[in-house]
Amino acid sequence: MRQVPGGSFQAIQEYFQQKSCRYCSNLFSAEGIKLLREEPGVFVVRVTCQCCGHPLGVAIVGAANNQSKKEKKLPPEWTRKDANRLSSLPPISFDDVLAAHEFFSQLDAGWQRHLPQQNQA
Ligand SMILES: [Zn+2]
């Protein structure tokens, strides 16, 4: 399992800046990578192409810093639904980001309809 070097949002930005937009083939820029949420060891980012405006999608990225598995702390603002959905998942690696990338790349242009409506800037 690969882990985020340094486990920082900056590392995640650098990771996505090595990826190119599937619509215009330009590399993603740091400005297009927004941190939506940060939890201990987990970042939720939205990646959008700054050149053509196409979204790559929302990715949940783990900053794996050898967190203890036995003591799993849930963020206090998580709802019960969040906890049920997320707490049983294994620690997230960059491989999951790649999987998310593949997943989002297969969705049609209306994929955002499937996301909860919140903080849509
Ligand atoms: Zn683009």
State the distance from the centre of ligand 1 to the C-alpha of 47, rounded, in angstroms.
11
pLDDT tens profile 69-98:
444 567 777 777 777 777 666 666 666 666
Assign 106 a pLDDT band (cuts: 50, 70, 90). Answer: low
User: Domain segments of the chain: what residues?
Assistant: 5-110
Note the pLDDT of residue 80.
78
- Per-position b or e across 48-58, b if 16+ CB within 10 A of its CB: bbebeeebbbb
Distance 101 CA to ligand 1 centre (A): 14
Q: The pTM is what? A: 0.50
CB distance 37 to 46 below 8 Å: no
Taking the centre of ligand 1 as the mean of its atom positions, its distance from the CA of residue 24, in whole angstroms, is 4
Contact 100, 60 (CB under 8 A): yes
* pLDDT tens digits, 19-60: 999 999 999 999 999 999 988 878 899 999 999 999 988 988
